[in-house]
Structure 1
Amino acid sequence: MKLSELGGKEIVNLNDGGRLGIIADSDIIIDEKTGKIISLLVPDPKVQFKLFGEKEEIEIPWNSIRKIGNDMIIVEFEDY
């Protein structure tokens, strides 16, 4: 799968069915040596608006991804 094919997919948590965000709004952390994806950084949906400072993000390890479908990515993420 190409990285460009991930764009626009919604991220859904398998544990509670919660929506965690969309890949377009996310950052991807890549290992510079191997080129493999380490994790996804998704804006925290619980934080609606923050005036100053860093934005709140959730880091989802790549090994937490269970399925990548046509429209969504299913993750098993217990830390949220």
Structure 2
Amino acid sequence: MTIMLSQLGGKEIINLNNGQRLGIIADTDIIVDKKTGKILTLVVPERKFHIKLLGDNSVIEIPWHTIRKIGNDMIIVEI
């Protein structure tokens, strides 16, 4: 299956193990293997319910191999 990065935009990332919402692809950075061009990791800013303070760089790193399903509205990961 081929997925274009543009097709991932706006999808919410959900953890299969506990149902936690981890973030949205629009806010996500990716780490790519320079030699192969394959995506290694999604770097998602941590979702918090309080006001984000300046300099707060908390992130969740989601290895690409943990993705279980890419649906129309969300991406299911198992971490």
**Fold match by TM threshold 0.5:** yes
1:68 aligns with 2:60: no
Aligned to 1:50: 53
1:33 aligns with 2:35: yes
What is the total number of aligned residue pairs between the two structures? 76
CA distance in 2, matches of 1:47, 1:33: 38
1:15 aligns with 2:13: no
SS in 1 for 2:18: coil
Moved over 3 A (4+): none
Q: Please, which runs of 5 or more residues in structure 1 have no aligned partner?
A: none
CA RMSD of aligned residues (A): 1.3
Contact 1:20 1:45 in 2 (8 A): yes
Residues 26-65 of structure 1: per-residue CA shift (max 9 Å, x gap): 10111111000001000111474122x3511000000110
Contact 1:12 1:19 in 2 (8 A): yes
CA distance in 1, matches of 2:62, 2:49: 17
**Counterpart code for 2:18:** D
**Counterpart code for 2:22:** L
Residues 46/31 of structure 1: CA separation in 2 closer, same or farther (3 Å cut)? same
If the length of structure 1 is used for normalisation, what is the TM-score? Answer: 0.88
Identity of counterpart residues, as a percentage? 67
